[in-house]
């Protein structure tokens, strides 16, 4: 599923302390999701293949399943590479440029039901310099 540039961007997600969820084998995942939790929202990425990915921001994400959102304040659907670029360049929630319009999420803003339990890869702890 991953090319060199895509691998670099996935590494950047881990560097930024996103939590990764993987369904399937490490060398051939069937689905990958990533979540970065903020105080008042969460950013989510769903990678289905190199040609099919979705990114979105879930407002008021505390206590809700961010992988099955009811509302979003941002959504983007494209190839994995462009979607990763989009979510990594999304303004932080506290920025005046952050998206604030509440929308109904596209059906692609959901992890399919009935999947087995994923492997969860927690963010790496920040290393002191």
Say what the pLDDT of residue 7 is.
Answer: 80
Q: Which of 17-26, 32-41, 119-128 has the lowest mean pLDDT?
A: 119-128
* Helices 4-15, 80-88: crossing angle, 10 deg rounding: 30
Say what the pLDDT of residue 4 is.
Answer: 55
Residue 63, classified by CB atoms within 10 Å of its CB into exposed (0-12), middle (13-18) or buried (19+), is exposed
Q: What's the rounded mean pLDDT across residues 94-122?
A: 94
Say what the pLDDT of residue 56 is.
Answer: 98
pLDDT digits (tens, 9 = 90+) for 42-59: 999 999 999 999 999 999
**Better-scored residue on pLDDT, 28 or 110:** 110
Res. 91: pLDDT tops 70:
yes
Res. 126: pLDDT tops 80:
no
Res. 62: pLDDT tops 90:
no
**Is the C-alpha dihedral spanning 38, 93, 62, 34 positive or negative?**
negative
Res. 1: pLDDT tops 70:
no
Say what the pLDDT of residue 124 is.
Answer: 60
Res. 125: pLDDT tops 90:
no
Question: What distance in Å separates the CA atoms of residue 91 and residue 1, rounded to the nearest whole number?
Answer: 27
């Amino acid at each position: 599923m991953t090319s060199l540039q895509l691998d670099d961007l996935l590494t950047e997600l881990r560097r930024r302390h996103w939590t990764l969820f993987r369904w399937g084998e490490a060398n051939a995942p069937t689905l990958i999701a990533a979540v970065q939790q903020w105080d008042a929202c969460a950013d989510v990425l769903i990678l289905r293949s190199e040609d099919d990915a979705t990114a979105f921001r879930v407002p008021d994400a505390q206590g809700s399943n961010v992988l099955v959102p009811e509302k979003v304040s941002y959504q983007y659907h494209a190839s994995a590479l462009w979607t990763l670029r989009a979510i990594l360049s999304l303004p932080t929630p506290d920025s005046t440029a952050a998206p604030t319009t509440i929308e109904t999420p596209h059906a692609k803003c959901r992890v399919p039901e009935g999947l087995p339990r994923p492997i969860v890869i927690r963010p790496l702890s920040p290393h002191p310099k």
